Amino acid sequence: MKAAYKKYILDFKRPSGTSRGILKQKETWFIYLEQDGKYGIGECGILRSLSIDDVPDYEEKLKWTCENITLGKDKLWNHLIEYPSIQFGVEQAFLSFDSDNPFELFKSAFTQKKSPIPINGLIWMGEESFMFEQIQQKLEQGFKCIKMKIGAINFDSELKLIASIREKYSKYQIELRVDANGAFSSEEALSKLKQLANYNLHSIEQPIKQGNYLKMSNLCKETPLPIALDEELIGVFDVTKKKELLLTIQPQYIILKPSLIGGFKGSQEWITLAEELGIKWWVTSALESNIGLNAIAQWTYTLNSKLPQGLGTGGLYVNNIDSPLKVDRGTLIYDINKCWNKNLIEDLCL
């Protein structure tokens, strides 16, 4: 078996705002396996300043991985414990290689019968008018769950936007989630959560910065609004440490981004622990191309979660890879009548 990797820059259709800054491009790497005319592909994607493996020797580790591909998926996963995005890319590539169809990693009703996955519509930070425009578009597109990025513009303006939705749609008509990406200070967080709770929100993701276990624990105990941990899971590799984190903080939800927490295996460890402790969860992409998003979506479907997932990111880029993934009335479907751009994929990887 031979392995190679190649870098690819994804360009956003429109600059997208978070509390950590404006995103215009997204770096990703494809890892490609080949043997006797058969191939497999996986995506290793990092988020700058967020991924634990955003380190200077990242490409050196990718090169090492390709040179040692004969170690196999499981041994490589163990060697790559501090490189969760490469762990995930390797998992995908081997699943792809071992499948009859390199783009069908998990055969299910999702890939065979267009069985949908409910997803949330993502509202990016920006000027008030831009955020309102996005909200209107998502509602017109049939989304029943909307997730708003908050924490970058004036908080009162964000409350007004949320209030404008609730004036028209009750919590039974539209589920609202908000994501602060750690933007609130620990001193002001509870006060802001109390204000947000007036609008019957489903949850808030990562209200304060990760790493403040005791402060987050106290917040989860006192909050009038369910809290979902996201960034908090990044960089916690050991299963014992994962359990300790969940026992200490006791969040209402956790959010799983396979590229950031060790792929399917790392995510499943979190799910098992969370379910033992009565903590709910859902899966979210980390702005991968359609290669990574496809793998995450197919895996997510097999988990039989009824919650809307965060998998509606395939349309963010002008140069994404054409795929059967399609957002339809607030769900993600796998349209078997649409084709992968295999020529582009082979050009990227060979």
What's the CATH number where 204 sits? Answer: 3.20.20.120
Q: Which of 144, 149, 192, 242 is catalytic?
A: 149
Looking at the structure of the chain, the number of domains it has is 2
Q: Are 113 and 146 part of one and the same domain? A: yes
Residue 7 among the catalytic residues: no
Looking at residue 193, what is its pLDDT? 97
Are 222 and 197 within 8 A, CB to CB?
no
CATH number at residue 82: 3.30.390.10
Residues 307, 167, single domain; the answer is: yes
Do 127 and 260 lie in one domain? The reply is yes
- Entry field: residues in the chain: 350
Domain boundaries, position 32? 2-102+344-349
Looking at the structure, do residues 301 and 173 belong to the same domain, yes or no? Answer: yes
- Residues 307, 231, single domain; the answer is yes
Residues 232 and 143 grouped into a single domain: yes
**Sequence letter at residue 119:** I
- Does residue 206 contact residue 230 with C-beta atoms inside 8 Å? yes
Q: Active site includes 149? A: yes
Instruction: Give percent of the chain with pLDDT exceeding 90.
Output: 77
**Alpha-carbon span 17 to 47, nearest angstrom:** 14
Between 140-154, 279-293, 308-322, the lowest mean confidence (pLDDT) is in: 140-154
CA 31, CA 42: separation in Å to the nearest integer?
5
User: Has residue 127 got a pLDDT over 80?
Assistant: no
The whole-number average pLDDT for the span 36-61 is: 94
Same domain as 157, residue 273: yes
Question: What is the structure's pLDDT at 255?
Answer: 98
CB contact at 8 A, 241 and 211: no
Residues 30 and 148 in one domain: no
Residues pairing with 331 in the sheet: 118, 328
Task: Give, in order, the Cα–Cα distances in Å from 134 to each of 124, 141, 173.
Answer: 8, 11, 18
User: What percentage of the chain has pLDDT greater than the value 70?
Assistant: 97
Choose between 34 and 350: higher pLDDT: 34
Do 76 and 215 reside in the same domain of the chain?
Answer: no
**144 and 247 share a domain?**
yes
Q: Are 323 and 297 in contact (CB under 8 A)?
A: no
> Residue 250 pLDDT > 90, yes or no?
yes
- Predicted confidence (pLDDT) at residue 348 exceeds the cutoff of 70: no
> Whole-number mean pLDDT of the chain?
93
Catalytic residue among 61, 144, 242, 257: 257
